[in-house]
Structure 1
């Protein structure tokens, strides 16, 4: 059985990376995620910061972890 996933623009997952290791992982609605991403880019200017849509399907959305 295959699972179907659809993306939702309402939530995004923002991560800050130290090499291949995420050092911050935060999921929020699109507006809050954009603010968080901006703050992390300022604070960690030399690190990679990614923001991607949260996949919604049979699994739950990831929770905020630091």
Structure 2
């Protein structure tokens, strides 16, 4: 049996939601994502903004991530 482990990458995915619809979706390094998230929270104060780590399969070559 082959096991697939996922490890957190140094990137995060930030999304802005209008109800159940994503109106902005941005993936960047952790530092850049934090800045983007802060800007989106100011710009869309009444909407939900989420930031999640991007998971990468272990053993996957760096260039294909």
Listed as ranges, the gaps of 5+ residues in structure 1 are 62-66
Give the corresponding residue for 2:5.
4
* Mapping for residues 1-66 of structure 1, pairs under 5 Å: 1-8=2-9, 10-57=10-57
Structure number with greater Rg is 2
Instruction: Work out the CA distance in 2 between the residues paired with 1:2 and 1:25.
Output: 30
Alignment length (residue pairs): 59
Listed as ranges, the gaps of 5+ residues in structure 2 are none
What is the TM-score when the length of structure 1 is the normalising length?
A: 0.79
- Give 1:7 deviation, angstroms: 1.3
What is the TM-score when the length of structure 2 is the normalising length?
A: 0.80
